[in-house]
Amino acid sequence: MIDRKGIASYLLITFGLTYAVEFALMAMGVRFDLPQGTYVGQLVVAGLMWAPALGAFITAKFVTREGFAGTGLRIGPIRPYVVWALLMPVIYAAIYGLTWALGLGGPDWRLEAFMGMMASAGGDLTGAPPPGVLMALVFVTTTLIAPFVNSLFAFGEEFGWRGYLMPKLLPLGKPTAYLLMGVIWGMWHMPLILMGYTYPGHPVLGTLTFIALLTLIGTVLSEVRLRYGSSPLAGWLHGLFNSQRLGLWALLFWGLDKPLLGGYSGLVGIAVWGVVAAIVLTRPPADAPGT
């Protein structure tokens, strides 16, 4: 049976808070495709990643008074944390390898585009390490260190989306629940897309493309969360995704001019995550406790 009261309260709080802040930023002229939006906007995005958790907490504690027993607040087995930490760079390598092979963008081995952006933004490049050293440092940092930081913010989303909302939608059946989760999650990001986030110059197509991408990524996160009974694990996967997104691949393919087609955000990313989702759906891990 669908908990309409809980779902409505959760969505109202989560979207209300997020949209109020982001449309206020939009009214102030903040853009994510301009240097000033890069710094201010990222801080706001990081903070608002906890809006879904706040919506879930207020709803479960004060509106429905159901508590948090069904939100998957358990760490679960360590093995999937390690496996996904190893898999995420491989998934990104496949995405950007295909992007390069299809002629949708190529790696900038000298990092000229990135260095040019830093210089134009007033960055001091004196003493900057050679491109090869910088790439190695970024890869190591975003693979071994950044996930632990990013997953703390990502858990704010996952406690709300996969911990609270997704189980509420499961009575509709997994296909419907996962599709609705993708649409809702994508629409939650819509103000950012309108401000030039990820798809500058493509507000409508960008939003639709992001919904498709998040439906597939969300399917993986939802399936893993269910099988291991752990919303922190979903937060870890989300943090791994964000760490790689902001890491080596962003440097090598800086300013990718076909975001609707290539890279993690385009059709290539959608295709690769479609394959990953299909594998996860059809081959459950051996150490999963079940749903």
What are the backbone dihedrals phi and psi of residue 2, each rounded to the nearest 5 degrees, phi first?
-80, 130
Mean pLDDT, rounded, for 195-208: 94
Percent of the chain residues past pLDDT 90, beyond the cut: 79
What is the residue type of 81? Answer: Y
16 lies in a domain?
Answer: no
Mean pLDDT, rounded, for 179-184: 98
115 lies in a domain?
Answer: yes
- pLDDT band with cut points at 50, 70 and 90 for residue 129: confident
Q: How is residue 26 written in tokens? A: 């939009």
Mean pLDDT, rounded, for 94-100: 98
Considering only CA atoms, which of 192, 195, 213 is closest in space to residue 260? Answer: 213
On the question of pLDDT at 289 being above 60, the answer is: no
Q: What confidence score (pLDDT) does residue 291 get?
A: 41
Domain that holds residue 277: 71-282
3 lies in a domain?
Answer: no
Mean pLDDT of the chain: 92
Whether the Cβ atoms of residue 16 and residue 54 lie closer than 8 Å to each other: no
Q: What confidence score (pLDDT) does residue 221 get?
A: 98
Q: pTM here?
A: 0.94
289 lies in a domain?
Answer: no
Tokens 């498709």 — which residue? Answer: 212
Q: What confidence score (pLDDT) does residue 290 get?
A: 46
* Alpha-carbon distances, residue 235 vs 92, 121, 151, 163, 259 (angstroms): 18, 32, 5, 10, 25
Number of domains, the chain:
1
Q: What confidence score (pLDDT) does residue 42 get?
A: 75
On the question of pLDDT at 99 being above 90, the answer is: yes
- pLDDT band with cut points at 50, 70 and 90 for residue 214: very high
Alpha-carbon radius of gyration of the chain:
19
- pLDDT band with cut points at 50, 70 and 90 for residue 118: confident
181 lies in a domain?
Answer: yes
Q: What confidence score (pLDDT) does residue 37 get?
A: 52
Give the residue, 168 or 1, on which the prediction is more confident: 168
Q: What confidence score (pLDDT) does residue 112 get?
A: 87
98 lies in a domain?
Answer: yes
Which residues, including other chains, have CB under 8 Å from residue 291's CB and lie 6 or more apart?
226, 227
121 lies in a domain?
Answer: yes
**pLDDT of 265-287, one tens digit each?**
999 999 999 999 999 999 876 66
10 lies in a domain?
Answer: no
Mean pLDDT check: name the lowest of 28-37, 212-221, 234-243: 28-37
**pLDDT of 132-143, one tens digit each?**
999 999 999 999
On the question of pLDDT at 91 being above 70, the answer is: yes
Q: What confidence score (pLDDT) does residue 269 get?
A: 98
Mean pLDDT check: name the lowest of 21-25, 61-65, 214-218: 21-25
Mean pLDDT, rounded, for 53-67: 98
